[in-house]
A and B are shown apart, each in its own frame.
Chain A
Amino acid sequence: MSLSSPFDSVLPHYVLHLADNALVLGHRNSEWTGHGPILEQDIALANIALDLVGQARYLYQYAAKLAGNELTEDSLAYGRDAWDFRNCLLVEQANGDWGKTILRQFLFSAWQLSFYDRLRESRDSELAAIAEKSYKEVIYHLRWSSEWVIRLGDGTEESHNRMEKALDQLWKFTGELFVPAEYERSLGTTGVAVDVEALRTPWEKKVGEVFAEAQLAWPHAAGGVAGADARRDAAGAAKSAWAQTGGKDGRHTEELGYLLAEMQFLQRAYPGCEW
């Protein structure tokens, strides 16, 4: 299914980007259901998954309404291939261990809270309403994941090392959260979309506070170049500034294909199946 044809305006692309973020992370979290380290945390992550999939549903319903043709929330979620998905690369990254899953949630929730906070002021009343609802849910996600980042980062040597490793794997995907895609730039002056570049400062502040308590070094300083401070700072800054992008334009990492293969299998094999 090609998406460029049914949509004759920019807004649906933006709505789909937001929906895909929520669905893909929701699905990733749901992969833990029945496999969490302890029952209460298994349930917690399943609840977060449920919130995210719920948010995705409202956004897909709105995108389908904007398209005004035969598209539905289900066809948008289950009928598109990877290159039509517009989610950020961060949310599609494989779960890894519990620490990586937690860190991914924390990095994204810290962004999503600021994002929804601003989207509540959108001139598009549907997006504002969805944001108002979702904002309250993300407060819980952020608090829960912040606590776990601290618990693991400032925990045992083993848990700390795993968090550092997770940070190393995920950090390069965080920059994309603040780089506007073409559809965001073109909505920029309308008061409909959020200026994602403006979210970087509050995000770095929030993440920095939690990292400090979690005894995790800000990746700036982890440049890893021996020698003069100036050189190290330059290398650190370069590493921090470099961002892997593409997801918001449909150029994804290999991970997304595997996720879609599992998530979409039933509807691909038995289109329209209900039970």
Chain B
Amino acid sequence: MLSVVDLGIIREVREDGRDVEIVLTPTYSGCPAMDVIRMTIRMELLEHGYKNVKLTTVLSPAWTTDWMSERGKEKLTAYGIAPPLPSQQVSRPDLFGRGQAIECPHCHSYHTSLISEFGSTACKALYRCEDCKEPFDYFKCH
């Protein structure tokens, strides 16, 4: 399972005895998982004996998939989600997905095509493999 640390959204942890502050940043502004993530972190830390748990959200510097750990990318592939390419490839103004080759997480073919830039969640795009014919999610670089 991909952890919040693997995802790169935990920016800092400050510990002082039984007090702890977690600084986190959202993947996307509207990520609906953020409230659940914050609550789960709080519950987990309280269960582990911390008394005061402070959660601070920061927006700058903005989250990038470059902060995702290598271990996290391996976990995504194992789960069947193509991991993000390095972020030099993002922010291209090119239309119609020109010049993008995403590896199929199932058969490792690069003969894939974009179905939609927005997948089941804001952080993923929907692709199809033209060789093994399987659709797959791509964790888009951001």
Q: Which residues of A contact B (CB under 8 A)?
A: 40-41, 43-44, 46-55, 57-58, 125, 128-130, 132-137, 139-140, 142-144, 146-147, 150
Contacts and interface: CB of A to CB of B under 8 A. Distances in A.
A18 to B, nearest CB: 13
Interface residues of B, number: 28
Looking at chain B's contact residues, the main secondary structure is loop
Contacts of B142: 136
A54 B30 contact: yes
A44 B116 contact: yes
Given A55-B29, A55-B30, A133 B60 contact: yes
Nearest to B115: A40
18 contacts: A40-B115, A43-B120, A47-B122, A48-B118, A49-B30, A50-B28, A50-B30, A54-B26, A55-B29, A57-B29, A57-B30, A125-B60, A133-B62, A137-B29, A139-B91, A139-B93, A143-B117, A150-B95
B76 interface: no
Contacts of B120: 43
A132 B95 contact: no
Nearest to A39: B116
Nearest to A120: B60
A133 B116 contact: no
Given A54-B31, A136-B142, 11 more contacts: A40-B118, A50-B30, A53-B30, A54-B29, A57-B30, A130-B59, A132-B60, A132-B62, A134-B29, A139-B90, A144-B118
Contacts, number: 80
B29 A129 contact: no
Given A50-B30, A58-B29, A143-B93, A136 B62 contact: yes
B30 A52 contact: yes
B28 A51 contact: yes
A53 B122 CA distance: 13
B49 interface: no
B96 A147 contact: yes
A144 B118 CA distance: 9
Contacts of B58: 129
B80 interface: no
B61 interface: yes
Q: Is the interface of A mostly helix, strand, loop or mixed?
A: helix
A100 to B, nearest CB: 20
Given A134-B29, A147-B95, A40 B62 contact: no
Nearest to A51: B30
Given A132-B60, A132-B61, A133-B60, A144 B28 contact: no
A43 B96 contact: no
Nearest to A142: B93
Given A44-B117, A137-B29, A51 B96 contact: no
A115 B131 CA distance: 42
Interface in B6-65: 26, 28-32, 58-63
A274 to B, nearest CB: 12
Contacts of A53: 30
Given A129-B59, A143-B93, A146-B95, A43 B29 contact: no
A142 B96 CA distance: 12
Contacts of A144: 117-118
Contacts of A147: 95-96
Contacts of A51: 28-30, 122
Nearest to B93: A143
Nearest to B25: A133
